[in-house]
Chain A
């Protein structure tokens, strides 16, 4: 580093408290970032990490507490203030304008301009290219964001910070969307940046990554500050205990499987993409048998969503056949697929899974409201039956909500919303259960519950198709893993025999087998 700093710390957040209606997101939290260090911020979903960073970045204002830069107290009221103090952030959901070029995104807000605000992009391009070379951040400045890979989008975000000469760099869950190989690359980039004197805050809930790259680690739990430790003096078990407050059993208990006949048979499925002109799913074939859990693994955006859309009928397919329990359902409507035994736990519970303005009971019958037990012959709803059915499910699946059946779905927590969907889909007694990222954004307790339900379905002789992005889940829950890469199935793995590294190679497209009929 060589420079003399006035204070040991680049940034200090002291006793920060931030409240939202009904919840204290940050309760007296202190975080001190040294010059040139990589400092991890660890916590579960909902622990308050993102809120804390939003406070630092000026997106929210804290009710209590102070922020110091180089030992001097500062006020950060908006992202401009943060930027002026040299603080930059790579957000978990990239803040990139999709129809702009990489260069336009980088200069947005700090455009070099001549007379009358006309932009002069030449110098900007030079600076971007120089930075990209210096730190090994490969980008094409003239490509549009919607056309480039997630990895390049992330590099664009990093360049955005460097272009602004930021000294303090915040990475919010940067690895969630990357392949293991890209993660390794990113960590190298982070080390390079730290070596150049940048101070880095690395937000994550993945212990291995923190152990690999961070110098120190601050742990939050349920909005509270738990402690700060040097990573070389600790281990994963200790960090994990700090994060969840108890030792968690990461392993899913399950009996050996007894697969029966094929329940779901997908043949040469091809689904066009909505974003680009290519097919999102290309000639995919696989089978799921009675009594097994098959997991489709892969990096986000490799055609998994489209595969599910094609399978469940949400989007039309252009080629291929789908057989369920021997019956051809390729051309069947969504309703027909559902009534003939397919349940679908959707990827996005707010987009597809729930009508948020409906009460919980109305959401509980979203897939069955038309059945004669809920609608009479003339077309009136049997509201008493709906109520008692909903009350039953609530009890059975321990769905918690303020006013029981009449609670608006919007007023429920994410975990309980997901439980409600799972109750609904499982209680339909499906033959085939398609579960797409069923544990996304949930806390450990809810994850355990959901995994148990999936295994119970399998043990009851159902076919379960799990689509997951979480490596832990991919390794622990299923009986078979199919890896999807760029719309194709590139490998079939046995979770008991494979390693995360091997899985990673498949997910990154570095390795592929000819998979015949799954």
Chain B
């Protein structure tokens, strides 16, 4: 049971971070379908730092890895920013390309590095056994991960930024009615860049959190198994509102954690379902939830539409 809570919380943290990233980006008017790829790149950035830093100071490792993940995610999100903000590219297409590129590039890069260190090693794995321990505080068998705290802080911060802060008001104006924002002198481009970069940072952080969730070694060929898209579903279910996103993330996190922990529950093992059923669970739940919530969705009105100064 404790394990279930632990996994629920850590997967919910991933989903919260990434969904908040998606939420910020969409509020600025850019649909970020590349979150999946951003997560991979963020995870890669964090993993590289974790495997290369030899210090034993927990705080240095944790902070350095997080910062690396944020920066990597932001850098990678520039691909979306340039294409969607400056070249009016199809945001769906660009996001999809980013997802494919991230996994391929991360694989190539990690393999190249592994091979460079040991010519016989052609794997795409990075190990970070000791570093992972730094993220975790063991409280009576419950593994508290610092990311759980980070996720809560992110929810609170995004809430205040969106609803109490000047930046948030302007950001949302750009996603709802960019012409209105432009007419009062707000630079739509700048705000959209801000939205994309923040979502890149949060997505990168979420990616790092994901690979730290249960294992100490990550095979980059596998990407992040659709978690970026699950996060988008969480965002839609959360109606683009930070607090509702947090709740939605917990629900999805619960279902995701079942596949890791169902063996621990007698009544579930007695059902004798193949393990794949539990693997499918979060995706099936997501589809059902979307089927019921998408009709009344309150998406930012101008999302996905390139802003053209000329059109009024």
Contacts and interface: CB of A to CB of B under 8 A. Distances in A.
Residue of A59, A95, A98, A160 with most partner-chain B CB within 10 A:
A95
Given A99-B176, A109-B170, A79 B184 contact: yes
B177 A98 contact: yes
A93 B182 CA distance: 14
A59 B180 CA distance: 12
B312 A79 contact: no
Contacts, number: 69
A312 interface: no
A111 B166 CA distance: 6
Interface stretch (A112-120, A199-207, A322-330, A440-448): A112-120
A113 to B, nearest CB: 5
A95 B179 contact: yes
A108 B312 contact: no
A109 B309 CA distance: 17
B166 A95 contact: no
B312 A93 contact: yes
Interface in B3-60: none
A97 B165 contact: no
A83 B185 CA distance: 8
A508 B6 CA distance: 62
Contact of A104 (B169, B182, B298, B309): B169
A110 interface: yes
Contact of A108 (B167, B170, B301): B170
A83 B181 CA distance: 13
A100 interface: yes
B122 to A, nearest CB: 49
B126 to A, nearest CB: 37
A116 B165 CA distance: 8
> Is the contact region of chain B dominated by helix, strand, or loop, or is it mixed?
helix
B70 interface: no
A118 B173 contact: no
A97 B173 contact: yes
Interface in A68-108: 78-80, 83, 89, 91, 93, 95-100, 104-105, 108
Interface residues of B, number: 23
A101 to B, nearest CB: 10
Interface in B294-312: 298, 301, 309, 312
A98 B179 CA distance: 12
Nearest to B163: A119
A146 B200 CA distance: 32
Residue of B173, B176, B309 with most partner-chain A CB within 10 A:
B173
Interface string B217-261: 000000000000000000000000000000000000000000000
B176 A98 contact: yes
A219 to B, nearest CB: 23
A194 B179 CA distance: 28
A108 B182 contact: no
Contacts of A89: 183
B133 to A, nearest CB: 35
B295 to A, nearest CB: 12
A45 to B, nearest CB: 14
Contacts of B169: 100, 104, 108, 111, 119
A484 B269 CA distance: 66
Interface of A: 57, 59, 78-80, 83, 89, 91, 93, 95-100, 104-105, 108-111, 113, 116-119, 160
11 contacts: A59-B182, A59-B309, A89-B183, A97-B176, A98-B301, A100-B176, A108-B180, A108-B184, A109-B185, A118-B160, A118-B165
